[in-house]
């Protein structure tokens, strides 16, 4: 055999790789179970939902990473809805009883007002009288309004009723302006984002205090459950949010008598044990809804995003999910609503290495790398020996041929 052939054979052996068969890569067992879905009519396209970082921890537990359905083992199938995502959770234990794409990020519409309440309600004196400004009433024409009049004087408590019953974007503007102090509305929006972070609502980014559509403004069904739990644990919020009607104060001379406003959350009159919630709709968000009810000693919340009015209005779809949730046994869950303490741990930076501890390897480096599997180590050792033997044989052949030429 020629030297060239021997070397080629040695190289070929080395390129074959491990002699022993490598361990197979772990199979992907995260099959997505589709959510029960009631197909809606054709609707205008909505903004694409940002993809979550796969390396980031899944707030609430790994089962909530799904883009489909998550229900406890043995649970009955939840009712079909037209919602793109939803969550049913226990407000007191924090157990998530079931979910559909819980971390899907979508436009919030007016359920964002729940985050405004969670942020500003503790900071504002309900008896403080606010004079409405032109900026408060200068909201987009397609906004929902309670009817503030520039120059009118309104107690903060009245503004909360206007925000939660009538979903007034003008009330949202006034509350955000006053709560923000010298920083105005922008400071309140920044505080809303800080409050979402504190609660562990990491899918949420507010741009407007009212939830009016804006680029890069998102939340998720899971985050809405966290925010609603914070609100519903405050008696003042429940008082505002559960009122069926409210007499809006007069603002003479333009409005000398005032008028009555009604609560848009029909769960309060259409579902036994209802304790609060919030409706929402924009072209980009479609129908969003948060509702809560109590049955016995159990309080559940349902959050619905991206729904149409098929097979029913959003609050009714929420009611069917509440019925399903109340039918689940205590302790059944697919995850949990994180506490503020758990959220703080999730957000904490990794601990600094102790002095003298080797730094982690940079990308492509070897420091800190996992040791190769035993089978692979043996395989490469065998290959190296084979290559060495072949090279020695090649050298021997060359020496023999040279010796023969010298003798001749």
Mean pLDDT value across residues 356-370:
47
**Of residues 197 and 6, more confidently modeled:** 197
Q: Given pLDDT bands bounded at 50, 70 and 90, which one contains residue 57?
A: confident
What's the mean pLDDT in 68-76?
97
pLDDT tens digits, one per residue of 187-231: 999 999 999 999 999 999 999 999 999 999 999 999 999 999 999
Return binding residues for substrate: 278
Percent of the chain topping pLDDT 70:
79
Who has greater pLDDT, 317 or 403? 317
Q: What is the pLDDT of residues 221-262, one digit of tens each?
A: 999 999 999 999 999 999 999 999 999 999 999 999 999 999
Distance CA(308)–CA(304), nearest Å, equals 10
- Residue 372 scores a pLDDT above 50: no
Long-range contacts of 9-14 (CB under 8 A, 24+ apart): 9/390, 10/386, 10/387, 10/390, 10/391, 10/394, 13/383, 13/386, 13/387, 13/390, 14/383, 14/387
**Catalytic one among 49, 82, 101, 113?**
113
Please give the pLDDT value at position 367.
37
* Amino acid 43: pLDDT: 83
Instruction: Exactly one of 49, 85, 101, 110 is catalytic; name it.
Output: 110
| Tokens matching residue 28 | 């992907």
Q: Is the pLDDT confidence value at 361 over 60?
A: no
Is the pLDDT at 401 greater than 60, yes or no?
no
Q: Which residues contact 22 (CB under 8 A, 6 or more apart)?
A: 373, 375, 376
Annotated binding-site residue numbers:
278
Q: Which residues pair with 205 in a beta bridge?
A: 218
31-40, 151-160, 282-291, 328-337: the lowest-pLDDT one:
31-40
Helix residue ranges per DSSP H, 258-359? 267-270, 314-326, 340-347
Q: Residue 44: its pLDDT value, please? A: 84
- Say what the pLDDT of residue 376 is: 40
Asked about 110 being catalytic, the answer comes back as yes
Residue 102: pLDDT over 70 = yes
Measure Cα distances from 183 to 94, 188, 191, 387 in Å. Answer: 35, 8, 11, 73
Q: Which of 167, 210, 333, 379 is catalytic?
A: 167
**Mean pLDDT taken over the chain:** 85
Give the residue from 195, 239, 233, 272 showing the smallest Cα distance to 92.
233
Q: What was the pLDDT predicted at 357? A: 63
């Amino acid at each position: 055999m020629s030297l060239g052939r021997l070397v080629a054979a040695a190289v070929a052996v080395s390129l074959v790789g491990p002699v022993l068969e490598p361990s197979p890569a772990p199979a992907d067992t995260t099959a997505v179970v589709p959510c029960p879905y009631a197909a809606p009519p054709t609707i205008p396209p909505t903004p694409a939902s940002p993809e979550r970082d796969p390396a980031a921890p899944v707030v609430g537990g790994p089962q909530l990473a799904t883009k489909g359905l998550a229900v406890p083992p043995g649970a009955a199938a939840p009712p079909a809805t037209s919602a793109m995502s939803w969550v049913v959770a226990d407000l007191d234990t924090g157990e998530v009883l079931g979910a559909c794409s819980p971390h899907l990020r979508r436009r919030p519409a007016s359920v964002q007002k729940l985050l405004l309440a969670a942020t500003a309600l503790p900071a504002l004196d309900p008896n403080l009288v606010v004079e409405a400004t032109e900026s408060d009433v200068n909201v987009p024409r397609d906004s929902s309004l309670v009817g503030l009049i520039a120059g009118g004087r309104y107690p903060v408590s009245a503004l909360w009723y206007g925000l939660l019953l009538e979903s007034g974007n003008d009330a949202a503007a006034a509350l955000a302006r006053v709560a923000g102090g010298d920083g105005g509305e922008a400071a309140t929006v920044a505080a809303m984002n800080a409050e979402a972070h504190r609660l562990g609502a990491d899918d949420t980014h507010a741009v407007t205090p009212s939830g009016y559509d804006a680029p890069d403004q998102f939340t998720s069904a899971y985050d809405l459950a966290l925010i609603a739990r914070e609100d519903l644990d405050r008696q003042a919020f429940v008082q505002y949010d559960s009122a069926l009607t409210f007499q809006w104060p007069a603002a003479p001379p333009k409005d000398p008598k005032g008028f009555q406003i009604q609560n848009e959350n029909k769960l309060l009159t259409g579902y036994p044990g209802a304790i609060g919630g919030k409706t929402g709709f924009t072209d980009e968000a479609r129908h969003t809804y948060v509702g809560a009810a109590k049955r016995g000693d159990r309080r559940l919340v349902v959050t619905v995003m991206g729904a149409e009015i098929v097979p029913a209005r959003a609050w009714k779809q929420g009611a069917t999910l509440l019925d399903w949730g109340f039918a689940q046994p205590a302790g059944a869950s697919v995850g949990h609503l994180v506490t503020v303490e758990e959220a703080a741990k999730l957000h904490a930076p990794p601990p600094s290495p102790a002095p003298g501890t080797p730094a982690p390897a940079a990308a492509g480096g070897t420091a800190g790398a996992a040791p190769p599997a035993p089978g692979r180590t043996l395989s490469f050792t065998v290959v190296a020996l084979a290559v060495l033997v072949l090279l020695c044989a090649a050298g021997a052949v060359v020496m023999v041929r040279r010796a023969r030429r010298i003798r001749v």
